[in-house]
Amino acid sequence: MAVQTPVAVAGVLVHPGDILVADDDGAVIVPAARWDEVAELARRVDRVEDDTVRAVRAGAALAAARAAHGHHALQTRKDPS
């Protein structure tokens, strides 16, 4: 049996050191070299979602709250890789 070699999981190549994060909603494999970047993006998503929820609870319309807190920008890919 080989160890520390890439394996395919559901058609996705996973390399040694890559990070697998999973919960009831699904799984994602993050290349080790991009973990810091992905973790920061996840924290940003959490902050924007928390701010959006607070705004809606304070009376804002969902669309307005999303616009005010940059929700759309979270869904815009900047890196073509």
Token representation of residue 63: 């669309």
Taking the C-alpha atoms of residue 28 and residue 49, their distance in angstroms, rounded to an integer, is: 20
Average pLDDT over residues 43-53: 93
Cα→Cα distances 7→19, 28, 67, Å: 13, 15, 41
* pLDDT > 70? residue 78: no
Say whether 47 sits in a helix, a strand or coil: helix
Q: What proportion of the chain, given as a percentage, has pLDDT over 70?
A: 94
pTM over 0.75: no
Question: In whole angstroms, what is the distance from residue 65 CA to residue 36 CA?
Answer: 28
Separation CA 31–CA 14 (nearest Å) = 8
